[in-house]
Amino acid sequence: MADRVAVTRGLSANSGFARSLEGAIARKVAAQLQAVVDDAAAEAKRVVSTELVNDRPPLRRKKGARHLLGGISAEVEWDGVGFPVTLVGRAIGDQHKIGALEFGAPPHRIRAVNAEFLIFPSTKGVAAEVGRGGSIIRLESGKRPTSRARAQGYGSNGRVMTKEVWHPGNRAYRFLERGLERAVRAALGGRR
């Protein structure tokens, strides 16, 4: 049995040929991903519309707040030269709320910071339970609240006012991540 002779040569990542090859491949990948961005945004919107509450009454919606479904987009970020080529999902709106929906949020207290009270819409005669200890927000009929009522929270004229509430937290929906993942998998036929 004769020994085989093999001649090999490595390709330096800094060579002109390697850089031009990387640029050509990056351009091809960027073009492929550009065709995927609309599908990625549509997939993220599909997750939001099927798994999150989208029918909040207008009374409960913050004035001027953008609907989550109307603010989802995806785009390709690329320097036009080489790798990395990145597909980015974005949601426009209150970034704290969007982050809590995308990544989840642990149970936490929400305190009035820029105002004396947090104010929520309600109906007369309805008591709402707030706070970890289950403080009751009483709805009163127009008279000045007592110091105890002000400390625990009170309500009148269709509004409930309190200094803090206990938010139970929420799970991570990962709607942007899942939308990007589904669109890329569909475009690449399940390959990464």
Can you tell me the distance from the alpha carbon of 8 to that of 120, in angstroms, rounded to the nearest whole number? 73
Q: How far is CA 170 from the centre of its chain?
A: 12
| pLDDT tier for residue 155 given thresholds of 50, 70 and 90 | low
| pLDDT tier for residue 106 given thresholds of 50, 70 and 90 | very high
Q: Tell me which of 154 and 179 has the higher pLDDT.
A: 179
| pLDDT tier for residue 149 given thresholds of 50, 70 and 90 | low
Q: Tell me which of 170 and 132 has the higher pLDDT.
A: 170
| pLDDT tier for residue 14 given thresholds of 50, 70 and 90 | confident
The predicted-structure confidence for 55-92, as pLDDT tens digits, reads as follows: 666 666 677 777 787 888 999 998 988 888 888 999 98
The pair of three-digit structure tokens given for residue 102, joined into one six-digit string: 């995308």
* pLDDT exceeds cutoff 50 at 101: yes
Q: Which amino acid is at 191?
A: R
Question: 130 forms bridges with which residues in the sheet?
Answer: 135
| pLDDT tier for residue 129 given thresholds of 50, 70 and 90 | very low
* pLDDT exceeds cutoff 80 at 36: yes
Q: What mean pLDDT comes out for the span 161-178?
A: 88
Instruction: Please report the pLDDT score of residue 127 as a whole number.
Output: 44
The pair of three-digit structure tokens given for residue 38, joined into one six-digit string: 């609309």
Nearest alpha carbon to residue 65 among 41, 98, 90, 104: 98
Instruction: Please report the pLDDT score of residue 58 as a whole number.
Output: 67
Neighbour count for residue 89 (Cβ, 10 Å): 22
Residues 161 and 122 sit within 8 Å (Cβ to Cβ) = no
Nearest alpha carbon to residue 75 among 87, 58, 57, 92: 87
* pLDDT exceeds cutoff 70 at 47: yes
* pTM strictly above 0.85: no
Q: What is the dihedral of CA 191, 179, 50, 172, to 10 degrees?
A: 110
Can you tell me the distance from the alpha carbon of 60 to that of 50, in angstroms, rounded to the nearest whole number? 20
Residues 162 and 137 sit within 8 Å (Cβ to Cβ) = yes
